[in-house]
Chain A
Amino acid sequence: MKSLLLGNAAVARGVWEAGAFVTSSYPGTPSTEITMNIAKYDEIYTEWAPNEKVAMEVAWGACIAGRRSFTGMKHVGLNVAADTLFTISYTGVNAGMVCAVADEPGMHSSQNEQDSRYYAKAAKVPMLEPADSAECLEFTKLAYELSEKYDTPVFIRMCTRVGHSQSVVELSDRVEPPLKEYVKNPQKYVMMPAFARARHPIVEKRISDMTEMAENTHLNRVEMSDNADMGIITSGTCYQYVKEVFGDTVSVLKLGLVHPLPVDLIKNFASKVKKLVVIEELDPVIEDHCKKLGLAVTGKDIFPICGELSPNIIAEKLNKPFNKGQKAIDAVPMRPPVMCAGCSHRGLFHVLGKIKAMVHGDIGCYTLGATPPLSAMDTTICMGGSISGLHGFVRAGGKNAVCVIGDSTFAHMGINGLIDIGYNRSDSTVIIADNSTTGMTGHQENPTTGVNIKGEPCGKMDIEMMCKACGIERVKIVDPNDLEETEKVIREEMATPGPSVIIAKRPCMLLKSSKPNPPLAVNKDKCTGCKMCMKIGCPSLSYKNGKVSVNSTLCVGCKVCMQLCKFDAFTEKGE
């Protein structure tokens, strides 16, 4: 049966068709839909883990128990799971284990542009890179076979354009691989020095065996053209761009296995073309490999390392004519993402801006607190980094500082920083913006919501008790939509020596359980046009001809603007 599937959904389908039994992941754009789609299959136990390291260990434990398993994450999530990765490369697997990692050239929704292929290389784990949804499905199934054949976890490298585009796939039935009974084998699974030393040569042999496999596998494909002027080595989305621009007029070596890379296959291909070009997004991984083989190659000398490539960029750099398009007008006002109308983070960041706090921020919707007009965030690096960063800032004598972290991010990695603060007692004020969901990635459940990925009731981590257990005696809970109370509590806690946590608690307005209030209106007679309310950047407010007005289809009646108005111009409708 043919179907049109998102690349991410096709990976999920591949996991299901391969007979996987356990999936554990943490959401992260552009990888989230893989696991959300796996959760739809009843045959697979699927969960959101608190972070990628936990998720990868769960998947590993499941494969050791003898069942095929899966974990999916975004590129930066792999940093979190890296400790696990490097050593499960040594232990290998029992049943197959596959890890999808989604890179994000262009940083549509990410904090950096790291290239995950380096992890495959560094951890000596094979990596497959599909170029469309059909390959997502096929490669995922094949990855399980390779995992079991070579006794290794296997990566599927995704990127935004492959994971987030729908294309046609052919669906098959699920296979049910028999249980591979767990057999006690500490030499393989207990990685203490004596055993690990014995495993390392096995890993080296494995990667060498797989390099041999790379020469002949159908994952790598040569498409020779009659025209031998130029040969292009490429993979993933870039392959599609190359075909788009050149069709069959150049020779192409399409690599589906991006680690380990073949040697003879590349040398043979190079010998048949006059000019060898490598087209890859992000870093020159394939290019460096070619150079190591002593081949003259064009690559990052003409193509950018930063950002995404595109058909036009490829055409331009390789001197093929193309339509440029033209602008309609010179300057189109930007439309950056904003906090939604009624967002529970808005009041909090207004207060932090008002008291001119130095704010260590974190990863989530609330990172938008850094943008105008709120402009109330000073740093953001990675998941959980706000709490530990604040502790260091305070220990170095930094003043007037707080940090803001969301509920899911707190459970992910924030707890570790809070343990440090509780243990080493800095005068840190940690604000946990608890909106009862993982908002930015599309409202996934998390350990603090009491609901699992399938929407069923489950265990619930109590944030307040967790903070106290970390050694924080002062834990306050405020409603961030109550500006006066929020400001009072933040000022108090910042002024009090010793560690403290403020839980700014209000569910995300987009949750089905959140019921909007009736929209507000503006009494034009009272509005003086002072624009005080415009300082919160609410998308439902606009200012024209000296007066503010409320967009009643967007306004959810959170009344944050109302609290800022000194002239009582806002009214609840019906009053």
Chain B
Amino acid sequence: MDTRNIVIVGVGGQGSLLACNLMGRALLIEGYDAKVSEVHGMSQRGGAVVTYVRYGDKVHSPIVDNGQAELLVSFELLEAARWFELLAPGGTVVTNTQQIDPIPVIIGAAEYPENLLGKFEEKGAKVDAIDALALAQEAGSTKTVNIVMMGRLSKYFPFKAETWQKALEETVPPKLLEMNKKAFELGVNA
């Protein structure tokens, strides 16, 4: 198979590292060659974070370049706009509709852009938007936004349901497993 390119973006602190590890486990269980690129360090301090996921028979580059991503998964709406250029023609934006104001908006130096979902569609992207924050609350913690979104993302992979369950068991601390399984399911069914 050709290599598939997925980009997962969000705000530092939203749990992209865990999402990254979950993705990696699932790909390994399914037996693919895979590369999952993470972000550490300064950008985790509430900054914009981007994670690249690539899998197939043989994967070379660890990053996904502009115009190459089949799926752009965003834990926060503005971040989908920031990284939109990564999307391949006809690609899909899978996004949380939650808005987290960045510092320039907080201090009044910029405005949070309006009607972003419409803008994505105008540019030819397919849009799959859910309120992951509400679903995370329903699962038991706003901290499970990442897992809700990964549940949503799982719909775009031809993996067995057990694969994701096993990957969750291997990446989430045992005492938080039930809550995260629920968050994942809510994402799938949203």
Contacts and interface: CB of A to CB of B under 8 A. Distances in A.
Partners in one complex: yes
Contacts of A132: 35, 62
A310 B43 CA distance: 20
A333 B66 contact: no
Contact of B82 (A240, A335, A373): A335
A335 B40 CA distance: 16
B35 A329 contact: no
Contacts of A442: 40-41, 44
A33 interface: yes
B36 A334 contact: no
Given A310-B63, A327-B84, A337-B45, A537 B40 contact: no
B85 A335 contact: no
B105 to A, nearest CB: 6
A166 interface: yes
Interface stretch (A14-22, A270-278, A318-326, A478-486): A318-326
Contacts of B44: 337, 442
11 contacts: A132-B62, A164-B39, A165-B52, A244-B60, A326-B123, A332-B82, A332-B113, A335-B46, A335-B47, A372-B103, A534-B108
A337 B12 contact: yes
B140 to A, nearest CB: 14
A542 B36 contact: no
Given A164-B40, A335-B11, A243 B65 contact: no
Given A109-B40, A328-B119, A333-B105, A368 B45 contact: yes
A244 B62 CA distance: 10
Contacts of B60: 240-241, 243-244
Contact of B113 (A240, A324, A329): A329
Contact of A325 (B34, B79, B86, B113): B86
Contact of A440 (B42, B80, B82, B101): B42
Chain A contact residues: helix, strand, loop or mixed: loop
Nearest to A324: B67
| Interface residue range, chain B | 35 or more
B46 to A, nearest CB: 4
A87 B35 CA distance: 39
Contact of B36 (A166, A237, A325): A166
Given A332-B113, A333-B112, A165 B62 contact: yes
Contact of B89 (A323, A329, A338, A441): A323
Contacts of B35: 132, 165-167
Contacts of B86: 325
Interface string B50-69: 00100000011111011110
Chain B contact residues: helix, strand, loop or mixed: mixed
Contacts, number: 189
A166 B104 contact: no
Contact of A338 (B37, B46, B110, B123): B46
B48 interface: yes
Most buried by A among B11, B35, B67, B104: B35
Given A237-B62, A323-B67, A333-B110, A30 B41 contact: yes
B94 interface: no
Interface of A: 2-4, 6, 29-30, 32-33, 108-109, 132, 161-162, 164-168, 237, 240-241, 243-244, 310-312, 322-329, 331-340, 365, 368, 371-373, 440-442, 531, 534, 537, 539, 541-543, 553
A249 to B, nearest CB: 13
Most buried by B among A326, A333, A441: A333
A352 to B, nearest CB: 18
Contact of B85 (A32, A167, A325): A325
A325 B88 contact: yes
Interface stretch (B21-29, B148-156, B157-165, B173-181): B21-29
